[in-house]
Chains A and B, each alone.
Chain A
């Protein structure tokens, strides 16, 4: 069951890398957005899916990456050189937030992250150092779409590979244990807070890298765009719809989202219906298939299997 998605993934990655030779700019832009979605969804999933700690404040990390890049570029640093610093700052911030916040369980942690995300957004909009609510514009010149496209696609591939590597590692097992039974995990020696902080920092760093690339590509950032709550929301919805806690889930979710968004934008009457879309999807997923598309797929496969064989105890594919 795992070899299949892996080979699909390899084909998709190759296709994405070859795309600029074949497709036109408009489609490449869409692919760039899709890659962004894949990165954000996969990164979020490290903490939210694997470890089960749902944070609704991830736009803060995207913003930190974007603003670090913008601010340093405006001071003469080459944009791509700012990436590591943005990632580091986001990781540090995630630890500062995480140390108190991870003492909270489940939904309470989530509520706390809403508060943090909002506080960061409001602060960024109120402080002149970050350009206030007007935002920042990247220094002119040196916009290279092909470079931007490739960096985003490479980062997307790396994010998925990272997720797969974490999932099958001891680290990943610890996260899964934490998600299923945190007290039980601690009773076996897992320092749950350390692992949560590590997953948080890792995912924050990846999201910040995406944020830096975002700034480089869009050339203009503002608190309303990079620190937006709706962004935090879509970052969460993609892996949930696709299948939280799996490697393929975030990718599928990003795909579904990108496609729906493109379709929505094409129909003028539906342009503002994205909230309905997000909300409706959330409701449907939570009511009928909390494990998302991947969960749905596995259920169907299991049903097809047992339909052909004698009724026995259900053996689930615990991969």
Chain B
């Protein structure tokens, strides 16, 4: 019984972070149909920026998030101008070119990080990093709790943004039905720029949060990227709730495996990847019509 509680608590806490991570990917895909592999690099960058703010200026990482978010939003808009615009294809589905191009951006970001920060493993050690708290009888690290809090705040803020502002509604509209939205006068360029900005901002936030939990190197981010894909496939990307649900499912599966089986931690990533693989292949109908994965059972033409 205590194991169940432990799985529940840990999963919930992890889900917040995962949702933040996945949302960044989802919004860019939803609006522009671009699979942004650079997302991993942006998370890594978010971790390093948070680290630098902490290391150089003594800024608490969670306070630093308030700076990182807007900063990365601007970075995203800039990236959109530079690279994203040329990528935006008209609704015909994601292209290999965009995948490979964002992949290239990811590699460049990695190399830049190597130059600026060196390849040494970094981590953030604050006064509360090693402290823990008991929740429902489960020992939980303080950083994990704070990460959950920060995620919850960001996601709620995001949800409000999406539901009340014009741009937010436009983003939801384009994600659900691109052609109809564009026909009704939505400015494709502004929406794409906003989406890119949001996606990058959430990548940066996720990275900042991850930096408080894990040690990191410029190579950091690949396994989280794959988890993010898994989440989007599981929960869809048309709403923040969908992403949250997918994040929760993944977190429960991971924690469940860790607690109830003797699978070694080094294997856990392999498990997540296999899960991604199976998830991508095994869900024909059922999931909100996101990735049209299936061959001939699809469109008429």
State if A and B touch, Cβ cutoff 8 Å: yes
B132 on interface, CB distance cutoff 8 Å = no
Contact pick for B99, options A52, A103, A107, A123, CB 8 Å = A107
Q: How far is the CB of A35 from chain B (nearest CB, A)?
A: 25
Binds A, one of B142-150, B198-206, B270-278: B270-278
What separation, in Å, do the CA atoms of A122 and B270 have in the docked complex? 6
- CB of B96 within 8 A of CB of A123, answer no
Contact with A along B39-69 (1 / 0, CB 8 A): 0000000000000000000000000000000
Given contacts A115-B276, A122-B266, contact A280 B108 (CB under 8 A): yes
CB closest chain-A residue, reference B275: A115
A105 cross-chain contacts in B, Cβ below 8 A: 292-295
Number of A-B contacts (CB under 8 A): 134
A52 cross-chain contacts in B, Cβ below 8 A: 96
- CB of A279 within 8 A of CB of B277, answer no
- CB of B105 within 8 A of CB of A126, answer no
Q: Is the interface of B mostly helix, strand, loop or mixed?
A: helix
- CB of A119 within 8 A of CB of B270, answer yes
- CB of B270 within 8 A of CB of A282, answer no
Given contacts A118-B222, A283-B104, A286-B104, contact A126 B99 (CB under 8 A): no
Contact pick for A278, options B104, B229, B291, B301, CB 8 Å = B104
Q: How far is the CB of B93 from chain A (nearest CB, A)?
A: 7
Interface size class of B (residues with CB under 8 A): 35 or more
B106 on interface, CB distance cutoff 8 Å = yes
A285 cross-chain contacts in B, Cβ below 8 A: 100
What separation, in Å, do the CA atoms of A25 and B229 have in the docked complex? 47
A287 on interface, CB distance cutoff 8 Å = yes
Residue ranges of B at the interface with A (Cβ–Cβ < 8 Å): 35, 83, 86, 93-101, 103-112, 114-115, 119, 222-223, 226, 229, 264, 266-267, 269-270, 273-274, 276-278, 280-281, 291-296, 301
Residue ranges of A at the interface with B (Cβ–Cβ < 8 Å): 52, 54, 100-101, 103-108, 110-112, 114-116, 118-119, 122-123, 125-126, 182-183, 186, 192, 229, 233, 240, 272-276, 278-283, 285-287, 290
